[in-house]
Amino acid sequence: MPPILSAQQLQGVRERLQIADQNIRNLDGLIAEFVDPLPFTNVKVEDGEPIIGEGQRDSWDRLQKASKEIPVPFAFSIRAGEIIHHLRSCLDHIAWQLADPIKRVETPRRVQFPIILDWNNKNELSTYKRQTEFVTNPAAETIIKKLQPASTKSPEDDHLWIIHDMDIIDKHRELVLCLYVPRIQGPTRVTRDYAPIPNGYGTQMLIPLLGTAKVQADIKISLNVAFAQFGQGKDAPVIKSLVGLRNTMRDVVAHFA
């Protein structure tokens, strides 16, 4: 089957994704510079038992206090909003390339990639029909319908809806970013006790005994920058979330390529 959109038609989308990639890397570096000097706490666990002294309690208190009192630089919200906007623009660029050339000229403002939450909502369904009437390729229309958040079990947690919703939020007010715990770094492992069990072939198998798992850990818990709201969830790490949204957009492009 030939691609629905050619490489040339998708060039603008791919360039937007490249810009989003670069902006994510830049924001990641800025966030690291911001959080690295902030309070943190070290946690040691031996044989499943945490080692907690006054130092650990004091550092944990300082970490929690910082998470509530230190504001996230406003510039981070602006940069995150720019990334979200590039991702939303990718969808509209796809819609423009799919549009009937005549209708593009007649009603250019109606050429948008539809994103709806509920097929039973009459207003949303009406908008969806208006925005898909320009699509002349039946295969493309099928893909657009399949990609709708309304077709999923949790529409408000669908990445396309999150991109759409956050882009609207950023147009009217800044995206809310906050400091939260944790950003966990360091080695952890689990040890268990085993019992030898004959297997009938002259050898034995080692079977882990239930209830003998013991965690060994030496980790650093520090602050991270998060979206205060991400879909229906809260405190979603900014960089991890943006990378997930970008990956979703790459998958969308692949459907049309």
Quote the DSSP letter at residue 135.
B
Over residues 44-72, the mean pLDDT reads 87
What is the pLDDT at residue 242? 97
**Can you give the pTM of this predicted structure?**
0.85
pLDDT over threshold 80, residue 104? no
pLDDT tens track for 153-211 = 999 999 999 999 999 988 777 788 999 877 788 888 888 888 888 776 666 777 878 87
Token match 């007649």: residue? Answer: 106
Q: How far apart are CA 48 and CA 115, in angstroms?
A: 48
pLDDT band with cut points at 50, 70 and 90 for residue 97: very high
Distance (Å) of CA 11 to CA 8, 16, 17, 39, 254: 5, 9, 10, 44, 13
> Computed over its alpha carbons, how large is the radius of gyration of the chain?
25
What is the pLDDT at residue 221? 87
Neighbours of 131 (CB within 10 A): 19
Distance (Å) of CA 241 to CA 3, 24, 166, 225, 256: 29, 10, 12, 11, 24
Higher pLDDT, 102 or 60: 60
What is the pLDDT at residue 138? 92
Q: How far apart are CA 225 and CA 45, in angstroms?
A: 26
pLDDT tens track for 208-254 = 788 788 888 888 889 999 999 999 998 999 999 999 999 999 999 99
pLDDT over threshold 70, residue 98? yes
* Element holding 12 (H helix, E strand): helix 11-35
DSSP state letters, 71-124: PPPHHHHHHHHHHHHHHHHHHHHHHHHHB-HHHHHH-GGG------S-TT-HHH
